[in-house]
Amino acid sequence: MGFKEYVGKRTLHGAVTIFLAVTLNFILFRIMPGDPTRAVSGDPRVDTATRLALIARFGLDRPLFEQYFIYLYNLLRGELGISFVQIGRPVIDIILGRKMINTIILMGSSMFIAFILGIVVGVFAAWRRGTRIDISFIVLSLATYSMPVFWFGMLLLLFFSYYIHIFPIAGTITPGLVHPNFIAYAKDYLHHLMAPMITLGVSFFGGYFLFMRDTILDVFTEDYMLTARAKGLPNKMILFKHAMRNALLPMVSLMGVHVTFLISGATMTETVFSWDGLGRLIYDSVRNNDYPVLQGIFLFMAVLVVVASILADVTNAFLDPRIKEAVD
Amino acid sequence: MKLKVIQAAFIVTLISLATVMPLAYAEDREELSFEMWTLDWDTISVDAGDVIEQMLRQIGIRMKAIPMSDEVLYDNLDLEHTYEVYQMSHGYSPYPGHLYSRFHSDEIMDYGGNNPGWSNAEFDSLIDQANAETDFDTRKELLWEAQELLAEDLPYIPLFTSDDVHAIRKEWTGYTCMPGGIFNWYNRLTTINLQHEDQEYGADFVMAYPSYIRYYNPIMGTDGRSALVVSMVYDDLVTYDADMNIAPWLAESWTISADGLTVTFNLVEDAKWHDDEPLTAEDVKFTIDYYIDNDVPYDTALMNRIDSVETDGDYTVIVHMKEPYAWVLDDFEDVPILPEHIWNDKEWDWPVHPDMMPIGSGPFKWDSYVDGEWIKLVANEDFWMEGKPHLGTYTVRVISESSARYLAISTGEADSERYELDTGFIETTSADPNLAPLEDTWCVGMWDYVISFNQRTDPALQDPVVKKAIAYAIDRQELVDIARLGYGTATETFIPPQFFGPAYENPDATTYEYNVFLANQMLDAAGYLDIDADGIREMPAPEEEEEEEEVVAPETIEELQTAIENFSTTLSETRGQMTLLESEVEALGARLNSSLNMAYGIAAVALIVALVAVYYAMKS
């Protein structure tokens, strides 16, 4: 089997996976208890006639199988449907808009900070293994890792926004303010970003730190470390040039797995800080049984994961002769 | 392999035991023991449920309070109808239309409002008459009579309203306390009169919302969040005053003909749309025709009864009704008048956003927004009412988390919030020096808590004696004190005058004052005795079947008349039972359908799993 066939096969597998995801998405949300028509009517006080009319309009009175095929047909035409909750608004507009950008910025920045901090502190702690500093970092990271993120967020909110008043309480920008230029807008946005970013950064830090520390300790046992030491290289060089570089590889693949976080967001943190992102959208949609929006987000995530893994595999196969040989 | 067989045998045994056990333990006489569902996220419902459970123990009834998620609870009310008792709030609209929507036998259907499935032909006819009666006093008498029937049979027992107390910063004045709260969509008095104590005009007000509004479209914006914004941007023909009487708004006066078939509105003359087009009778006619021609599924009760609309000059609208309708003005309070020059080529579910900002004629104009985060409204300088509104801007800001909302109001980032205080924040708020004292913001709430009895399941719940005893055994004021820390109003009647206005005060209404002794006596007398001495009463012994009465042919005209009357009563009762039966059959069909659907779903999953398994099996 040649390289081209391999790519073709992977793509086919990806397509099948996406189809399965679509089907499971559809079934999953409908097996969940709860009636979407309550969300359609929006309010328990809406009278019965109104509710029945809306149910009929959305086709929710039709058999599930018919609804499924309509959904598939619409997907093939590139239609993700229309939100039940915000009637009339296409799902694609709701997902691919401000909310997605907000989530990517929040998740991206906090993961990045946690990643860098995790690496640096992880290397440092591994080097000083067994000392008091190492142990206090482990305790600290275990604490932040197991701390409920919404609780920590509330504490930050109380401290920074209520007692010392340096961060705003909610939102991504100041309501009602017209910004004179982009710099002012960005400044305002960053000001709002700080508290949720710190919260998430702290919650991610523990995991990255522990992972990095363990990997470095593994690397220390490798033969080439001994060689480096025997050559009489300075500690700094051994640590950052030899140990860290090799330990970074598993770290990067971990980061790859975490890419979906960029889209799925952090529901709790976004809710505590009223950050208008996709995580909160998922939460609201689950609460209101807004199937079209949920299906849209999950489909998007599935496609992202599948495409990313295909790309990774194909690139690996292209670059790494061993995989290429195995394929052939 | 052996292990698996043992496991399987074990499971099979367990399942069969679980099936057989209840049968083995079945008793001869049913206990007065019920499951009462409460709404798990609503602390008021859950707390009140626990208190009721304790109270009813005193009269030998086990009413087990079980908190349920709203999905399960509402699914059951809408479709399955298999619950026994629930206790939660329903929510009043500003006029007592709920007697129809909660108890009329027309509403016994899937998604219908008659949750208990209660049916009474006499009640139906009283409500039908009341709905067609345009004279207020006659209508009130009819509603009182209907209310007496409810009080006799108690399909539900009204308990209390959880009242509206607000966190609002103390520098704001001019708001009006109205049943339903100082910030409710029909409280237009607050909208136009709210002002800062140091700044009569032009102050900036920030309102915290738990989530973003659903609709920019005024027709669909009927949920609490959107409706407040819609009511500020759009005008209706009439509104409510602080005592819940209909008051002039866009229509400065109106007349209803004696037969109730012609309603004439005289509009204010200087109303303008926000884009400076004049608002005339043509726009009102257009709005009504638009609802009718497009089969808009909102306000159908009103629109279905309208025959035609004509205008007389620029400021008079004449509505011709097909039949007289009691709530014609109340329903018009809910119809936003739409600008013809914008809506004439739009669908009713036009999302409005993002094409353009909503154009209305109300006291506030749409200024700017960031979708999902905030909306800024500015005062309409050309508003037709002299000197209104007082505020300069009104900003709606989303703060999702309730403690964050409280912190925002306390620090001044927001001035108030859309909804009443959660019970958990009442104490903190009343101690906060930055906020207005709670007594100033305390209005009777629209959320009415009831304990409702399904008339389809347990026969004991169809017996008025049991329900009356329960009504006597519940101390409503104590429920309020525990579940809502006192910020609630105990309700004794089905149309409580505390909410619907003093006009509905009925001195002769049947009420059930807290009296445990009487409740016990009633149950004893009706034969509900605790025969096995476990503290829970049992059902009375089954009665011997009575012999059928002999049918005697009527001999005089009077006898014939009585016979006919008796027959017609029986007939209407039978009709009531028929509707009940029909609805049950429908519900059964729906259940069958949904289980079929479920079966299809599971089959599909199984198929996929099987395919994957086969694929891997073949591969290896």
Q: Are B373 and A175 in contact (CB under 8 A)?
A: yes
**Residue B213 has what pLDDT?**
84
Overall average pLDDT of the B308-334 stretch: 92
Residue B597 has pLDDT above 80, yes or no: no
Mark yes or no for CB contact A87/B351 under 8 Å: yes
A172 chain-B contacts, CB cut-off 8 A: 370, 373
Per the CB < 8 Å rule, is A97 touching B112? no
DSSP-derived letter for residue B489 is: E
Contact A32 B399 (CB under 8 A): no
Looking at residue B295, the DSSP 8-state letter turns out to be: T
pLDDT digits (tens, 9 = 90+) for B451-474: 999 998 888 899 999 999 999 999
Contacts B353 to A, Cβ<8 Å: 89
List chain A residues with CB under 8 Å of B400.
Answer: 170, 271-272, 274, 280
Q: What are phi and psi of B58, to 5 degrees?
A: -65, -20
Pair B496, B95: CB distance under 8 Å:
no
pLDDT band at B422 (very low <50, low <70, confident <90, very high): confident
Report the share of chain B in percent with pLDDT over 70: 93
Residues 558-617 of B with CB under 8 A from A: 593, 597-598, 600-601, 604-605, 608
- Which uninterrupted H or E stretch holds A267? helix A267-272
* Per-residue burial over B95-120, b = 16 or more CB atoms within 10 Å of its CB, e = otherwise: bbbbbbbbbbbbbbbbbbbbbbbbbb
For residue B303, give every residue at least 6 positions away whose Cβ sits within 8 Å of its Cβ, in sequence order, or none. B288, B291, B292, B296
Spatial separation of the C-alpha atoms in residues B105 and A195, rounded to whole Å: 55
Query: Rounded to an integer, what distance in angstroms lies between the CA atom of residue B398 and that of residue B375?
Result: 9
Q: Which residues of A touch B397 (CB under 8 A)?
A: 170-171, 175
Whether omega for the bond prior to residue B496 falls within 30 degrees of 0, making it cis, is no
Q: How confident is the model at residue B549 (pLDDT cuts 50, 70, 90)?
A: low
Give me the mean pLDDT over the B109-132 stretch.
90
A19 to chain B: closest CA residue: B608
Whether B17 shows a pLDDT value over 60: the answer reads no
pLDDT band at B27; cut points 50, 70, 90? very low
- Please give, one letter per residue, the 3-state secondary structure of A120-182: HHHHHHHHCCCCHHHHHHHHHHHHHHHCCHHHHHHHHHHHHHHHCCCCCCCCCCCCCCCCCCH
Which residues of chain A register pLDDT less than 50?
A: 42
pLDDT of B31 strictly over 50? yes
Which residues in chain B are contacts of A177 at CB distance < 8 A?
none
Residue B494, burial from CB neighbour count under 10 angstroms (0-12, 13-18, 19+): buried
Tell me the chain A residues in contact with residue B93 when contact means C-beta distances shorter than 8 Å.
45
Q: Does residue B412 contact residue B115 with C-beta atoms inside 8 Å?
A: no
User: B91–A44: do the CB atoms touch at under 8 Å?
Assistant: yes
The whole model's pTM is what? 0.79
- For range B422-432, the mean pLDDT: 89
DSSP β-bridge partners for residue B266: B253, B316
Nearest CA in chain A to B372: A276
- The reported pLDDT for the residue numbered B25 is 44
3-class secondary-structure state, position B401: coil
Is residue B46 very low, low, confident or very high in pLDDT (cuts 50, 70, 90)?
Answer: very high
DSSP B31: B
Find how far residue B578's CA is from the centre of its chain.
27
Contacts of A20 in chain B (CB under 8 A): 608
How far apart (Å, rounded) are the C-alpha atoms in residues B362 and B339?
Answer: 12
Domains of chain A: 3-84+289-327 (no CATH), 98-264 (1.10.3720.10)
- Judged against a pLDDT cut of 60, whether residue B370 lies above it is answered with yes
Calculate how close chain A gets to B213, using CA atoms only, in Å.
9
Dist CA A293 CA A80 (whole Å): 8
pLDDT band at B355 (very low <50, low <70, confident <90, very high): low
| C-alpha–C-alpha distance, residues A300 and A302, integer Å | 5
Name residues whose C-beta falls within 8 Å of residue B465's C-beta, 6 or more positions apart in sequence: B522, B523, B526, B528
Question: ∠ at Cα B515 (B509, B516), nearest 5°?
Answer: 140
pLDDT in tens, B249-281: 999 999 999 998 999 999 999 899 998 999 999
- pLDDT tens string A174-207: 887 778 888 899 999 999 999 999 999 998 899 8
pLDDT digits (tens, 9 = 90+) for B344-353: 888 887 776 5
**Cβ contact B489:B160 at 8 Å:** yes
> To probe the interface with B, which of A274, A275, A280, A293 has the most B CB atoms within 10 Å?
A274
Rounded Cα distance between B250 and B265, Å, is 9
Cβ within 8 Å, pair A162-B403 = no
| Distance (Å) of CA B58 to CA B36, B426, B515, B532 | 17, 31, 11, 16
Query: B158: helix, coil or strand?
Result: strand
- Interface contact A35-B79, CB threshold 8 A: yes
Using a CB-CB distance cutoff of 8 angstroms, which residues of chain B are in contact with residue A38? 74, 78
Distance from CA of A321 to the nearest CA of B (A): 25
In this structure, are residues B399 and B210 in contact, taking their beta carbons and an 8 Å threshold? yes
**Residue A326: per-residue pLDDT:** 62
How many other C-beta atoms can be found within 10 angstroms of the C-beta atom of residue A169?
27
- Closest-CA residue of chain A to B605: A24
Query: Is there a contact between A162 and B407 if contact means CB atoms under 8 Å apart?
Result: yes
- The confidence band for B30, taking pLDDT boundaries of 50, 70 and 90, is confident
Q: What backbone torsions phi and psi does residue B183 show, to the nearest 5 degrees?
A: -120, 80
Distance from C-alpha of A194 to C-alpha of A109, rounded to nearest angstrom: 10
Whole-number Å distance between alpha carbons of B176 and B194: 8
- Stretch B128-151: mean pLDDT: 91
* Cβ atoms A81, A290 nearer than 8 A: no
Which two structure tokens, joined as six digits, stand for B601? 């779903």
Nearest to A23 among B112, B398, B608 (CB): B608
Provide the shortest C-alpha distance from residue B123 to chain A (in Å).
20
Is B408 in CB contact (< 8 Å) with chain A? yes
CB atoms within 10 A of CB B164: 24
Radius of gyration of chain B (CA): 28
Q: CA dist B389 to A115, B252, B385, B615, Å?
A: 53, 18, 8, 71
C-alpha span between B207 and B166 (Å, rounded): 12
Q: What is the dihedral of CA B276, B277, B281, B282, to 10 degrees?
A: -160
Chain A residues in contact with B408 by the CB 8 A cut-off are 169-170
- Could you tell me if the ipTM is greater than 0.90? no
- The answer to whether B222 contacts chain A (CB < 8 Å) is yes
8 Å CB contact of A55 and B111: yes
Question: CA–CA separation, A232 vs A237, rounded Å?
Answer: 10
**DSSP symbol at B272:** B
Q: Answer yes or no: do A49 and B300 touch at CB < 8 A.
A: yes
Q: Quick one: pLDDT at residue B24?
A: 42
User: Distance between CA atoms of A187 and A197, rounded to whole angstroms?
Assistant: 15
Give residue-wise pLDDT tens across range B198-254: 999 989 999 999 888 888 888 888 777 888 999 999 999 999 998 889 999 999 999
Q: Compute the distance between CA of residue B302 and CA of residue B106 in angstroms, rounded to an integer.
A: 17
Q: Is the pLDDT of residue B569 over 90?
A: no
**Contact call for B111 and A52, based on CB within 8 A:** yes
For residue B373, give the nearest of A24, A65, A276 by CB distance: A276
List the beta strands (DSSP E) in B466-546: 488-490
Where do we find the tokens 């860098």? A116
Q: What is the distance between the alpha carbons of residues B106 and A195, in angstroms, rounded to a whole number?
A: 54
Contact A32 B71 (CB under 8 A): yes
Q: Please tell me whether residue B563 adopts helix, strand or coil conformation.
A: helix
Q: Over B111-124, what HEC string results?
A: CCCCCCCCCCHHHH
* Interface check B322 vs A, CB under 8 A: no
pLDDT tens-place string over residues A62-73: 888 888 888 888
In sequence order, what are the beta bridge partners of B308? B320
pLDDT of residue B354: 54
CB B23 within 8 A of CB B499: no
Inspect the interface and report whether the beta carbons of A35 and B72 lie closer than 8 Å: no
Rounded distance between C-alpha atoms, residue B549 and residue B569, angstroms? 17
**pLDDT number for residue A36:** 67
Do residues B576 and B105 lie in contact, with contact meaning Cβ atoms separated by under 8 Å? yes
User: How many Å apart are CA B136 and CA B144, to the nearest integer?
Assistant: 12
